[in-house]
Every structure is written in structure tokens, then in C-alpha cells.
A and B are shown apart, each in its own frame.
Chain A
Amino acid sequence: EVRVVESGGGTVQPGGSLRLSCVASGFTFGDHWMIWIRRAPGKGLEWVANIDEGGNKKFYADSVVGRFTISRDNAKNSLFLQMDGLRVEDTALYYCARDLNYNDKGHYFDVIDLWGQGTMVTVSS
């Protein structure tokens, strides 16, 4: 079965750290860009970060740059999100997702076709 499963969420105090993990199965993990996206309670989706197939290119939302680090281990089919300096506003359900990165005559489109069920992060004192 093709799927991604997140883990590592929990409750942490402001200023604390958490490391989220996402394990992929059913497809060649190392062939795809991967993404973290979150949804805060009562709010909409927010793109957080993504990483290329080899782990060399990484991009972040303005709200997390300098605090969050995305990484991957292709040998273990795993994606990670190290979250430091957590803030109350980081409270959200965090989704791991696959991007097919569709190439149309040299122009690439995000095609985020596979999502997990999410792992909940709560930042509270």
C-alpha cells in the first residue's frame, strides 16, 4: 500500500523542541520531493517546508525559517522535521506529503498527491 505515516507529535512548552518523523511505504521514496504542511485548530492549511529528492534543496515558510529544519534519510524511507524554538502559534496538525513534481516541457508543477493523516503538535505552558 502506498502511504506515508507521521509520528512524533506531542505537547511541549514554548521554546521547546520536537522532532517529527514520516515513514513512507509502497513507493520509491528517494525519487520524490517531500513536504510538511500544517493546519492550526480552526484555521486553514499552511505550507511549512519541502526538500528535494537528494536532500540538497530545502525551502521554508517565513514563519518557521531559522527555527525548523527539514531533512530526510532515503535509506530508511524517512522524512523529518526538527522543530526548535517552538511557539504557541506552531500548534497544529502536521502533515507529511509527497510531491510528484510534474515536469511539463521543462516547467515543474507541484502535484501533492499523497498525504498522511497527520501528527498533532501542541505548544502550551
Chain B
Amino acid sequence: AIQMTQSPSSLSASVGDRVTITCRASQGIKNDLGWYQQKAGNGPNLLIYAASTLHAGVPSRFSGSGSGTDFTLTISNLQPEDSATYYCLQDYTYPRTFGQGTKVEVK
């Protein structure tokens, strides 16, 4: 199975900051990658699919980039409601695999 390595595992940043989360695949996955946000007590929410396509209704401060093995999720102008855990998910092949998650705290 493809391994997805996310970093950092956690971060703390202030309102208005720009944060970047990275995800590295153990082999090339083209642009077959999504990013999901999970807040405490809730089911996950889709942010981005196809590595860089913003899902409908997701604020434009979220953006994704990358292809092949290296991907990034960027949150510009961090807001208090962005406190959550973020996951990447490869959909290049089966079985699908998630990264370990990045917990974002907004100070």
C-alpha cells in the first residue's frame, strides 16, 4: 500500500498567519490527492480534491498544490475556526491511504 507521510504532526499559529502542511507519498500518485478537515466531535469535511481543486463552499484561504509525491495544503490568513486536524488522502490506487494527520491550533 502507498504510504502517506504528513508533516508536521501538530502546529500552533496565530490568527492571520499563513500555515503550510505537507504530505509525501511513498510513490508517485500524479495529482490524485485530497485534503480533509476534521473538527473535534464532527465528521470530516472535504477541502480540496485533485490536489488543488477547492471544493464548493470552502473558503478561498485554503489552497492545495503539488503532484507526483509531494503535496502541500496552505491556509492563508488563519482564522480561529480553522482549529482542527487535517488529513491528506491518496486516491491513486487501492487501498486508499490517509496521512497521519496534522493538528492545527490557533492561538
Interface residues of A (CB under 8 A from B): 37, 39, 44-47, 50, 59-62, 95, 97, 102, 104, 109-113, 115-118
Residues on B with C-beta less than 8 A from A102 are 49-50
Interface SS of B by simple majority: loop
**Of A44, A97, A113, the contact of B87 (CB 8 Å cutoff):** A44
In the complex, B97 has a CB within 8 A of chain A = yes
Nearest A residue (CB) for B102: A44
Residues on A with C-beta less than 8 A from B43 are 95, 97, 115-118
Total A-B residue contacts, Cβ distance less than 8 Å:
65
**Of B36, B42, B50, the contact of A45 (CB 8 Å cutoff):** B36
Residues on B with C-beta less than 8 A from A46 are 98
Q: Is the CB of A111 within 8 A of B97?
A: no
Whole-angstrom distance between the alpha carbons of A104 and B30 in the complex? 14
Q: Is the CB of A109 within 8 A of B91?
A: yes
Whole-angstrom distance between the alpha carbons of A5 and B44 in the complex? 14
Residues on A with C-beta less than 8 A from B64 are none
Whole-angstrom distance between the alpha carbons of A109 and B33 in the complex? 8
Q: Which of B25-46 contact A (CB under 8 A)?
A: 32, 34, 36, 38, 42-46
Interface residues of B (CB under 8 A from A): 1, 32, 34, 36, 38, 42-46, 49-50, 55, 85, 87, 89, 91, 94-101
Interface SS of A by simple majority: strand
Whole-angstrom distance between the alpha carbons of A113 and B53 in the complex? 13
- Supplied contacts A104-B50, A110-B91, A110-B96, 20 more A-B pairs, CB within 8 Å: A44-B87, A44-B100, A45-B87, A45-B101, A47-B95, A47-B97, A47-B98, A50-B96, A59-B95, A59-B96, A61-B96, A97-B43, A109-B49, A109-B91, A110-B89, A112-B44, A112-B89, A115-B43, A115-B45, A117-B43
